[in-house]
Amino acid sequence: MNRALCAAPERDDVPPAEPAPAPAEPSLTLRDIASFRPASPGFTSEPSGWAVVGRPVNLLAEASATTRTGTLLGRPVDVAFTPVAFEWSASTGKRLVTEAAGRSWRELGVPELSSTDTSLRLERPGRVTVALTVRYAAEYRFAGSVWRSIPGTLAVDAGERELLVGTFDTVLTDGDCRANPDGPGC
């Protein structure tokens, strides 16, 4: 029972044990990142707060890419949100889905009341409520690793705006009717 006789001699040519593989990066779903939110979107309209019957009202979303940092599954994580679709709906039943947030008439270099990719035509006078939902694509990375996409999109409501829709008549005048209310055409 001499252990020295049974022991294998130490060898210099034995390769060292391989390090344990890094833990696999988990796949995330939208539910997993529920505590991370993009910046709250908003929107405006041109003209602001009103529209002319039968003429386009230009809708402009205020939404941008956002990155949030935090901890998830005990690891540091970055979650990025990118707006990919804008869903406009009016209380009249009209609906418009675009990939762009919209641009002002000035930015587009077109006259006011021109059609744009983000405009609606409202055909009846009255009060119309317009709502916007922004859809965001999400991706994540743990501790500076590569970005990975999360399947699906996250819908975030941007609220509602009420527009006063009316008919308007134009009249030619010979100056400012406020300054000269008795002037021709006033």
Confidence of residue 11 (pLDDT cuts 50, 70, 90): low
Residue 170: pLDDT over 80: no
The pLDDT of residue 70 is: 95
The pLDDT of residue 118 is: 97
Cβ atoms 47, 32 nearer than 8 A: no
The pLDDT of residue 7 is: 56
Flag whether the pTM goes above 0.85: no
Cβ atoms 140, 77 nearer than 8 A: yes
Average pLDDT, the chain: 89
Higher pLDDT, 74 or 169: 74
DSSP string for the chain: --HHHHSPPP-TTSPPPPPPPPPPPPP--TTTTTT--PPPPEEEEESSSEEETTSEEEEEEE---EEEEEEETTEEEEEEEEEEEEEEEETTS-EEEESS----HHHHT--TT---TTEEE--S-EEEEEEEEEEEEEEEEETT---EEEEEEEEEEEEEEEEEEE-------SS-TTT-TTSTT-
Cβ-in-10-Å burial (0-12, 13-18, 19+) of 117 comes to middle
Residue 173: pLDDT over 80: no
Confidence of residue 178 (pLDDT cuts 50, 70, 90): confident
The pLDDT of residue 174 is: 73
Residue 8: pLDDT over 60: no
Tokens representing 49? 């707060």
Superfamily of chain region 24-166:
Immunoglobulins (2.60.40.10)
The mean pLDDT value for 11-21 works out to 63
Residue 185: pLDDT over 60: yes
The pLDDT of residue 25 is: 78
The mean pLDDT value for 131-143 works out to 96
